[in-house]
Amino acid sequence: METMQSTTLTFLSELGLRAMNSGTSTGQHSLKTGGERLESFSPVDGQLIGAVEATTEEAYHQVVQKAQEAFLEWRTWPAPRRGEVVRQIGQELRLHKDALGRLVSYEMGKSLQEGLGEVQEMIDICDFAVGLSRQLYGLSMHSERPGHRMYEQWHPLGVVGIISAFNFPVAVWAWNSAIAWVCGDTCVWKPSEKVPLTAVACQLITAKVFAANGVPEGVSCLVNGNYKTGEWMSNDARLPLISATGSTRMGKLVGTAVAARLGRSLLELGGNNAIIVSEKADLDLALMGALFGAVGTAGQRCTTTRRLIIHESVYDSLRSKLVAAYGQLRIGDPLDSANHVGPLIDRGAVEQYLQAIDQVNAAGGRFAVEGGVLQGPGYESGCFVKPCIAEVENTWPVVQHETFAPVLYLIKYRTLEEAIALQNGVPQGLSSAIMTRDLLEAERFLSSAGSDCGIANVNIGTSGAEIGGAFGGEKETGGGRESGSDSWKAYMRRQTNTINYTTSLPLAQGIKFDL
């Protein structure tokens, strides 16, 4: 792995890492803060990749002030011109896709294919944002008053705070920032302290494009740090919107702090996603959807399949298929394309995985596929675990809780109504799916009396959302929407306008006010 570490540092150096080693940036320039050293260790081999300086509170306030100043100019740029800058960022990402994808894989631990796919998501959202820059449309309405015209328009909101999680260290930032930039906002980004180098790399790529286009310094800002940095942002009235991705516990803290100052929150929090497998399902299709959904990114996606709700008539058959498939999984270095599953992010995540297994055993569950921590050559980091399958009851506390690890729960059902109730019977509401060949079952699942999640799929798994659709969930998932559709409206403020083009002044509702 020395080669990967060397390649990573070479890539960052080429982008100008030395100018960014503080980890605190307002776009084209960085601030030396003297803050705490944040070290990035790869979960693949346990090696130290590099380190950045955490942003001090004083430096944080300087960054936000610079973002405010930049907003005053950036908002005056025509949206298509802002879109052109974002288009160039997408082009630059294409040039660095392989190197950045490898960095994502090495620093976070997901497979190389998933790392490259995450960079492709960044490219795709840039493409989406470019088109959006010519479509920030409002409505026109007929006025009840003669000689009056009514319409609405959308204006930039201001400085957007982005708090991202380790599992998608670059894509979720891009979902937010690309849309916010074409809307005319500036951004302050706090990445997870577990993956600071990918954030630095993205900031350097962005800064290069911004500098070439004369973009004001402060449109894209990076602040590295721990939860305290997130607290500064959540409580900062200069940031009208906080977009936060992470656990439900974290989201409740962010949401409470932002609501106390009457700011806006866009929350993308935990998921406890299920696939219903009907007796009318294609079991081979169900197997493939469940397999990637459960073990992709080592179970560390918010859309990871955590529960399989299987009709009793096909339960044993699908269970056997799953056990056989799990026996063929290859676990190891995620940069080796022959492997299916990489490591968990750190040993803290491994501990949570082990606690979940203990809780299943204590509740009386049975393991169809046993779990455990892998040891020996290639597993020296201590972060590699076995994906496991447990037979459980939906009401057990461990099943109601999201464990960010490859633990898949099997649950039986008899009727579709029961299956939907089981699917909805958890606090989270992100992604869901049904596997069925029956049109009536599919439509029932998608109806208002069906899945209560923000994402509901038929004959595909819970994982793998596309850029074009709005991404987000309900209940304890937070209610936020990012990426496609009309998610851009979260980053703007709506204004209703009425124009009187007569010489009289009639009042609405027929009110008379004559002197």
DSSP state letters, 196-210: HHHHHHHHHHHHHHH
Distance CA 236, CA 207 (A): 25
Asked if residue 270 lies in contact with residue 431, where contact means CB atoms within 8 angstroms, the answer is no
φ, ψ dihedrals at 134, nearest 5°: -110, 15
Helix or strand run (H / E) with residue 142? strand 140-142
Distance CA 204, CA 23 (A): 11
Distance CA 5, CA 21 (A): 17
Alpha carbon of residue 9 to chain centroid: 26
Among 126, 187, 221, 302, the one annotated catalytic: 302
Scanning 379-460, the segments in alpha helix (DSSP H) are 397-400, 416-424, 439-446
Asked if residue 21 lies in contact with residue 28, where contact means CB atoms within 8 angstroms, the answer is no
Catalytic annotation present for 476: no
Asked if residue 44 lies in contact with residue 333, where contact means CB atoms within 8 angstroms, the answer is yes
Asked if residue 216 lies in contact with residue 228, where contact means CB atoms within 8 angstroms, the answer is no
Catalytic annotation present for 418: no
Other CB atoms closer than 10 Å to residue 393's CB: what's the count?
14
Distance CA 448, CA 270 (A): 22
Distance CA 244, CA 187 (A): 13
The length of the chain is 515
How far apart, in Å, do the first and last CA atoms of the chain sit?
85
Among 107, 118, 268, 482, the one annotated catalytic: 268
Radius of gyration over every alpha carbon of the chain, rounded to an integer in angstroms? 24
**Residues with catalytic roles:** 268, 302
